[in-house]
Structure 1
């Protein structure tokens, strides 16, 4: 079974994944189904590796305890940091890392963010599936999910669902 790299992320209606200062306080539905299951637990059960950038990692730690214990974690950074039980800090070429991970047995690989790491994966065409939840909010500015000068990547729609005003779109590379 082949491991897929999955971008599983939320964005505003106008394409932003965070405010300019990195805040994600707007990540919520419209309140029409406040207790609705958006499928996160099912998705999380399908992965065993997470990849993110250093800013995303640092922001996650401000929310409390590291939430991805028990998964293999990679944090991209140019800063020198010591690895810990949860993550390996790396500046390894993304194609080399993904090549190694895909040769290993395991579940899928979650590309969490941030924008710079995502952009590198898009430009190298390393994302197998895009699971994007569109939040019912227009931010008017912030950190864009998609940067300029990306290659054309053809996708196939696998599933759409609307939950609590959130449009959940699931695509795979063709």
Structure 2
């Protein structure tokens, strides 16, 4: 994958109706079996560190060196071994106005996400992964350079949307690549129109 600059990349699994999770916040309906799983190697840096270690997948930070999460996305892993620092091979920045904390390569901050992203883009390094959730994606909509969605053949009918409802002007993205798998999963990649 050749990206020209340090980009903010929104990389996430979504349902056909554009949700990151079901109405009860669950995301376990996304299939972890099938031929689409081979595509994970392309985004090895987006696999939790413990999972990649277990699977013998190398993570060299060539794709992403930083991950951004809202508190609710981060909190999914709390209570799971290694969940306090799920992507310890990356610099992890968790945005929260109500929580504090730190861990290995992890910072919880109440700084403005736009200011943080603009500062990160000025640094040298690999791309910045926007892991989720929808509220954070909405706050960063003008900073997102690329969207890569793993669209699963399920409909939640509600839940956590990829972008939270907000009154903003439409943003245009151009289709860069699409890969369809027999599992029914489709990986679609868009770049911001310039």
Fold match, TM over 0.5? yes
Q: 2:178 aligns with which of 151, 160, 164?
A: 160
Structure 1 unaligned spans of 5+: none
Q: Matches of 1:15 and 1:62 in 2, distance apart?
A: 28
Deviates further, 101-110 or 34-43: 34-43
Alignment of 1:3-152 (within 5 A): 3-28=6-31, 34-43=34-43, 44=45, 45-66=62-83, 67-122=86-141, 125-148=142-165, 149-152=167-170
Displacement, 1:73?
0.6
Tell me: CA distance 1:11–1:100, structure 2 relative to 1, closer, same or farther (3 Å): same
- State the shift of 1:25 in Å: 1.2
- The answer (yes or no) to whether the contact 2:148–2:189 under 8 Å persists in 1 is yes
Query: Shift in Å at residue 49 of structure 1?
Result: 0.2
Tell me how far 1:151 sits from its aligned partner: 2.3
Aligned-partner Cα distance in 1 for 2:125–2:187? 25
CA–CA distance in 2 between the matches of 1:167 and 1:36? 8
Aligned equivalent of 2:188: 169
| Structure 2 unpaired stretches of 5+ | 46-61
Q: Distance in 2 between matches of 1:169 and 1:108?
A: 18
Q: Secondary structure at the match of 2:103?
A: coil
Alpha-carbon distance between aligned partners in 2 of 1:19 and 1:39, rounded to the nearest angstrom: 24
Highest relative contact order (Cα 8 Å, sep 6+), 1 or 2?
1
Decide whether aligned partners of structure 1 residues 62 and 165 sit closer, same or farther in structure 2, where only a CA change above 3 A counts: farther
CA distance in 1, matches of 2:140, 2:74: 17
Normalising by structure 2, we get a TM-score of 0.80
Measured against aligned partners, the alpha-carbon deviations of 1:29-69 in whole angstroms (never above 9, x if no partner) come to 7x6xx254442232224000000011111102345424311
Normalising by structure 1, report the TM-score. 0.89
